[in-house]
Amino acid sequence: MGVIGYLYISWRTLRENYQEEDIIAFSWVSLLLFLIGGKISFGLFNWGVWGGEITPWLEFWKLSQINVAGAYFLLSLFTFLIAKDKNWKVWAFFEDSLLSVVFLLVVLLVILKSWMLLISLLGAVILTIPMKGKYRSLVWYKSGRKGFLFFWMMMWFWLIYTGVSRTWWMGGIGLLFLGGLFMLAYDKLSK
């Protein structure tokens, strides 16, 4: 259900601004890379967990053995590269694909029972929803460009996760997204 939901939401939200065949290809490849990135990073962070066997490295469908950070990193890297390759506006594409990625992450976090990450993600979503139609009217957001919701949500995710996990250095990641948000507001990163 998670795979079908991700593919449908991705197609539904991106089809208006991008070519349909590009979106379908992007959705399938990004899903595959999400699972592969999660599996490989799980194996690297838990080195030796599979006792030197090769086949567990290839079993990306076993969701209990996926590292969420590695999965999201490879998905984000692919999203960035495909946006650059297709000459799409990078941050606008990140914002446009936000709903499908959040859905995919929520499904994975529920399966993994990673409650701290899930609370942080849902908190960031709750703080992002009211900004959806209003961020272009903010006085300090002069550019009005898409990408605001991506930076806004990532900032809140990291700040909430910092508080929930009490890993204070991660708050710096949230502040980096805050800096990116202000740079986007002044048209520095909007291309």
CB 98 within 8 A of CB 121: no
CA distance 94 to 109: 20
* Mean pLDDT for the stretch of residues 54-63: 78
Identify the domain boundary among 57, 87, 113: 113
pTM: 0.84
Instruction: Calculate the CA 35 to chain-centre distance.
Output: 13
* Share of residues in the chain with pLDDT > 70 (%): 94
55 plus 82 within the same structural domain: yes
Identify the domain boundary among 76, 91, 113: 113
Count of domains for the chain = 2
106 plus 135 within the same structural domain: no
Give the side-chain half-sphere CA count within 13 A for 64.
Answer: 1
* Mean pLDDT for the stretch of residues 10-19: 90
CB 91 within 8 A of CB 147: yes
Q: Read off the pLDDT of residues 109-167 as tens digits, 9 standing for 90 and up.
A: 999 898 999 999 999 999 999 888 777 767 667 677 788 899 999 999 999 999 998 88
**Residue 188's pLDDT band (boundaries 50, 70, 90)?**
very low
82 plus 130 within the same structural domain: no
More confident residue, 182 or 120: 120
Domain that holds residue 168: 115-191
Q: Read off the pLDDT of residues 74-104 as tens digits, 9 standing for 90 and up.
A: 999 999 999 999 999 999 899 999 999 999 9
12 plus 39 within the same structural domain: yes
Q: Which two tokens stand for residue 95?
A: 């914002």
82 plus 9 within the same structural domain: yes
